[in-house]
Amino acid sequence: MSCLLSTERKLKSLIPFLALFSSLVLMPAQASNDALNREINQLYDTFVESYYALDPKPLESLYTTDACLMGVSAESEFIRGREAITKAINKWFDKVRKRDATIKIDFRVISRQQQGPVVTDAGYYLIRYTPNQASEQPRSEFAGKFVMSFKQAEDGNWYIFMDSANRSKPELFYAATAEPGLYFSSPTEIMAADDVSKE
């Protein structure tokens, strides 16, 4: 009986040590994961700013030279290469600029997977189109699902090398729930954008 009590005491004395050891092991991994999420999430911020400014230049720096883009249209081909992707995006921005309208894009990432130097995100996007007030046309929105893959280059930065999207109901975007650490446009941000567009 005394032997069992002695063993029990020894095991209890190990608990604080094991807890400390576990925390020391997990802390670097958690810090690394947090840093990764910040770096990838910043790329989405660039998307949002570029779309609102109708300026494709910031987006050009996000893609690899051999990146591939699959557009939402069933009739469009794959767009290959950074320059071709930037040109295609600017062509759409030109149409919006000529109408003196604005667009706002939001993202809600629901999954992020990492395999070595490659990260793949999946989620929903929402684009709101606000026409010039003089046109008296209503504001519209459309949404879809996307899968985006990032590759870490020798300079340590992450770049998009595969970008695909399709169309879906806006309700799916609004129904998405936030995942810890992943990019997620909050309802507050969306309402704030709506308020600005009404001014």
Residue 1: predicted pLDDT: 53
CA distance linking residue 27 with residue 144, whole number of Å: 36
Lowest mean pLDDT among 7-16, 76-85, 138-147: 7-16
In a domain, 1, yes or no: no
136: left (phi over 0), alpha (psi -120 to 50) or beta: left
CA atoms within 13 A on the CB side of 38: 6
In a domain, 44, yes or no: yes
| DSSP one-letter string for 14-62 | HHHHHHHHHHHHHHHHHHHHHHHHHHHHHHHHHHHHHHHHT--HHHHTT
pLDDT band for 17, please (50, 70, 90 cuts).
low
CA distance linking residue 95 with residue 99, whole number of Å: 7
Residue 16: predicted pLDDT: 56
What is the per-residue pLDDT across 151-176, written as a single tens digit (0 to 9) for each? 999 999 999 999 999 999 999 999 99
In a domain, 162, yes or no: yes
Q: Which residue has the tokens 């790329």?
A: 43
In a domain, 3, yes or no: no
What is the per-residue pLDDT across 86-111, written as a single tens digit (0 to 9) for each? 999 999 999 999 999 999 999 999 99
Total of domains in the chain: 1
What is the per-residue pLDDT across 34-44, written as a single tens digit (0 to 9) for each? 999 999 999 99
CATH number of the structural domain spanning residue 48 = 3.10.450.50
Residue 133: predicted pLDDT: 84
Task: Answer for the pair 167, 155: CB distance below 8 angstroms, yes or no.
Answer: no
**Rounded average pLDDT over 101-123:** 97
Extract the tokens encoding 174.
Answer: 């609004």
Q: What percent of the chain has pLDDT over 70?
A: 78
Average pLDDT over all residues of the chain: 85
Residue burial 12-51, b: 16+ Cβ < 10 Å; e: rest:
eeeeeeeeeeeeeeeeeeeeeeeebbeebbebbeebbebb
Residue 5: predicted pLDDT: 45
Q: Determine the structural domain holding residue 85 and report its residue range.
A: 15-198
Residue 8: predicted pLDDT: 55
Among candidate residues 160, 166, 164, 165, the one with its CA nearest the CA of residue 66? 160
In a domain, 6, yes or no: no
CA distance linking residue 161 with residue 185, whole number of Å: 23
In a domain, 7, yes or no: no
**Rounded average pLDDT over 5-19:** 52
In a domain, 10, yes or no: no
The answer to whether residue 120 scores a pLDDT higher than 90 is yes
CA distance linking residue 198 with residue 136, whole number of Å: 12
In a domain, 130, yes or no: yes
DSSP 134: G
The answer to whether residue 11 scores a pLDDT higher than 90 is no
